[in-house]
Amino acid sequence: MRQRNVRKAIEKVNNHPWVVDSITDDAFPNENPVVLEIGMGKGDFIIGMAKANPDVNYVGLERYQKIIIRALEKLDEELPNLRFICHDAEYLFEIFDVKIESLWLNHSDPWPKKRHAKRRLTHQNFLKIYEQLFEEEANIYLKTDNKDLFAYSLESLSEYGYVFNKVSLDLNNSDIPNVQTEFEKKFISQGETINYFHASKKLIKKPWLFDIII
């Protein structure tokens, strides 16, 4: 992309009303539950979910503006229940001032080398961050074509206290409702299978110091 086009893309992302710097109480004009997708890519999944579920608020997080612009180009109607954020997942707790109902990790970078394990979005360092976003129960959904990442994620979440409500090694041929991402469409056309799980964990909230004193 030429430098001029890059500048225009960045300007469009920064000025778009659905691209925000943080999610606060006034991010949505309602009190509906909030669902977050980390690494939304070009937006097929998050846009499809927002269209299908108008009573749920959706937030798509992506690190790169040049990718967010592709998602904005796909918006063919006004979706008041959808917001985008250009940020790194490592700093989620700094940009979220509301609690979320569930989290989606779709075709995340597998970071296959062992020395890069801490960069995987299902590493326990990230699980600790996610836990701060939930209220009473954490719900994490994952889809990936990468079998090694899937196995790693099952083990990581299990060790962190999650239970698995649904698991599929071939999501496209299961009875689980599914909005496909752009990656899924490509992989399925090539004969690849999609791995999926929904994991949850009951959270124990620590009492405030004030409550302990009373």
Name the catalytic one among 109, 148, 175, 211: 109
**Contact criterion met (CB below 8 Å) for 203 and 137:** yes
Q: How far is CA 207 from the centre of its chain?
A: 28
Residue in the block written with tokens 């004009």? 29
Q: How far is CA 164 from the centre of its chain?
A: 18
Closest CA to 123 of 136, 142, 137: 142
The 82-86 sheet, strands edge to edge: 82-86, 57-62, 34-38, 102-106, 137-144, 195-202, 163-168
Reply yes or no on whether 109 is catalytic: yes
Phi and psi angles of residue 32, each rounded to the nearest 5 degrees, phi first: -70, 160
CA terminus-to-terminus distance, the chain: 61
**CB neighbourhood size of 176 (10 A):** 13
Rg of the Cα atoms in the chain? 18
86: Cβ contacts below 8 Å, ≥ 6 apart: 13, 19, 61, 62, 63, 64, 65, 68
| Catalytic annotation, residues | 109
